[in-house]
Structure 1
Amino acid sequence: MPPRTITLAYRKVIDANSPKPWDKLVLADSYRELRMQAQLYNPGGQYRTFGELLHHVPAAERLHFLVGGSVGGYVQQLKGLVPDIVNNVGRYFLKFTRYQFELINSDLHDPGKHQVAINFYSEPLHWHDTIAPYLLVSDAAVLAEAGGEVLTHLCQLQPYLTIHALHPAAPAAS
């Protein structure tokens, strides 16, 4: 059976308890930007939380996009590799082609309650097999070019990592 082509998604949740310096920078800059952009939708300051703002001002849904621009430089620092996801030998291997920033919750007066997520979507991978909690995958582009040996990665399934999409198989050559 030929390998199936998949796209993985990883949802990185960042909040006040996130220990990594990169996470802390993303959190601080996104909070600063949220406070600035929220003024457009909350000019009188009557709403304290992001949830209240969304409930009372539906146009505030645009804040995900408006605040997301503040983390673009940090995402570029990742050089196309999904953070936190390593293969079985501890190396970063999962390349992403796109990401989406998301505000989860926030309090405009308390930065300790600010919580965001960045959803990373991988390049297509060939999924060869599942071995216990591990996926055996390889780069789809490399497999198409390879005539023999194909380098693989054994990646453990973990919270917030999921198979986002199955891609249709290429039609068989006749």
Structure 2
Amino acid sequence: MPQKVITLCYRKIIDSTATNPWDKFIHEDSFTELKMQSQFYNQEGKHSTFAEIILNVPGSEKLHFLVSAAITGYLQQLNGIIPDVLDNLGRRFLTFENFKFEIINSDLNQIDKHKVAINFFSRPLLWHDSIDQYLLVSAFNKKTTDEIFTNLFQIQPFVSIHAIKNIS
């Protein structure tokens, strides 16, 4: 019987309404970095929004990557655990290998219009079963033949199955 190995994606959106201190630091530091990095692409100061820069300046899509440098230290504080996603027992359990930072929108003159997303991609999980809106998963390990510890969690907004692979 084939088993399914999945990778989940959690999209964490951070804007000026953030109340968590970690989220606030991401918001503020990414805004500061965007203002600094965008100077190269907006030397004449013609554009006041991120969208205008992206639409009018070739190569400016690199700003997503360039600004991400300002938040990597905060991601290291997570110790590889995806924030906000809890299992049925209220524990953070989902680990990540990769992330992608994205600037959703911003106005270089108004921090309250700055909005970013961090897409966290989980380490591979073995998908055992679905129970209503819950997934029963465990860490994927090719060599395990022993008892497997599982996590049951409810699919929540901004969490999706990013990739799926059948194994035998």
TM-score interval (norm. to shorter) = over 0.9
Give unpaired runs (5+ residues) of structure 2: none
Report what 1:159 is aligned to. 157
The number of residues matched between the two structures is: 168
Tell me the distance in 2 between the aligned counterparts of 1:95 and 1:7: 10
Tell me the distance in 2 between the aligned counterparts of 1:14 and 1:61: 19
Moved over 6 A (4+): none
Compute the TM-score of the two structures, normalised by the length of structure 2.
0.97
Q: How much identity, in percent, do the aligned residues show?
A: 50
1:150 to 135, 148, 151: 148
Q: Give the residue type in structure 2 aligned to 1:81.
A: I
Listed as ranges, the matches of 1:1-174 within 5 Å are 1-141=1-141, 144-170=142-168
Tell me the distance in 2 between the aligned counterparts of 1:72 and 1:45: 28
1:70 match: secondary structure:
coil
Offset of residue 2 of structure 1: 4.1
2:69 match: secondary structure:
helix
Compute the TM-score of the two structures, normalised by the length of structure 1.
0.93
RMSD of aligned Cα (Å): 1.0
2:70 match: secondary structure:
helix
1:147 match: secondary structure:
coil
Q: Which whole-Å deviations, capped at 9, do the CAs of 1:92-137 have from their partners, x for residues lacking one?
A: 1101001111000000000000000000000000001111111100
Q: Give the residue type in structure 1 aligned to 2:59.
A: A
1:146 match: secondary structure:
coil
Q: Compare the two structures and name the one with the higher helix fraction.
A: 1
Larger mean Cα displacement after TM superposition, 84-93 or 1-10: 1-10
Give unpaired runs (5+ residues) of structure 1: none
